[in-house]
Structure 1
Amino acid sequence: MGEALATLRRERGLSQAEAGQRIGMTSQGWGLYEAGKRSSLFRPDVQRRLTGALDATPEALVLQLEGEPASPEVLAANGVSARGRAFEGAPIASRRLRLETDELTPWASAGTVLEYAPGRWPRRGQGCIIQMDDGVQKVRLYDRADDAEVVVFGAGGLDRSERIARSHIQSMSAVISRLDDE
């Protein structure tokens, strides 16, 4: 119930101090209700008082507790306000690939396991896994790209560059770690 109260407060863009001040309570007192440390939060009269400070109703608190949005519209921000936490979806799980050749020595040698993030574009000098449209998978060091091609190093040694047409690339993935002892 306390978390539902906190969510309602954040939706209204209020801090604990501002919400508490509306009903003559300290931010610490309000925080205790949100943390579930005060059992009186379950009393209807206390719920009316607390939700009244948020311009809401006890029914909105119950709806929030059940996971339904208490109010469909977002209220306009007034001064500095918190909108709650907006998280992106879970990151794409990383994958691993064991190098079979020494083309990338000294950056990585045969037997090194590369962990990569599918879909993450590499930075200059960072390792990358290139999935070609013909099914071939290339491991290279990214250098640069333009609208027509990608330039990478590692085709037969780090001192030789390779130009790959973007039209032949299915996906690019950045190497995020090298695991030598696996």
Structure 2
Amino acid sequence: MPRFVPDPEVLRLGEALAALRRERGLSQAEAGSRLDMTSQGWGLYESGRRPGLFRPDVQRRLTGALDSTPEALALILGGAAPEPPTSTAGVESRGRDFEALATGSKRLEVRDDALSPWAEPGVVLEYQPGLPPRPGQGCVIEMTGGAVRVRLFERSDANAIHVRGAGALDRWEVIDRREVARLSAVIARREP
């Protein structure tokens, strides 16, 4: 059986992706987890063994997980040094303390165990107002009456938002859209 040899151009693009990831101080596992991908899956892109790395949508997805852009990836590919991150949006890592807030983001401290073990009391969540959450991502729901709920987003439709975490992660809640002033994605968690 012949051995797989990646295309040299794909390999160079994968190496540029690896340089961008390292500049952000992330492991392959940390970068992959931001996309619900394993470290091995991320490593396949960096080694040029996963197809699609030249596709713009794939590049946006991968560089977005690194709080970067496909343009930054192209600059590295062209020989420029990786630029430091301009935002901490989506950054989460145990043992590191990120003080800077992403532009326009807000913080909220978890006060109960409704989201345990995802977020224990004392965890500070950083969220981006108006940024739609992905399924399984934490979200902050600002209600029309002024109340604020922190939940795990599952899905939404024209009439309702479906979330988990009202007292336990296995408990589902359906919230009428007319009661929601704003739905925002959690972009970072800070452990106490």
TM-score, with normalisation over the residues of structure 1?
Answer: 0.49
TM-score, with normalisation over the residues of structure 2?
Answer: 0.46
Q: Which has the larger radius of gyration?
A: 1
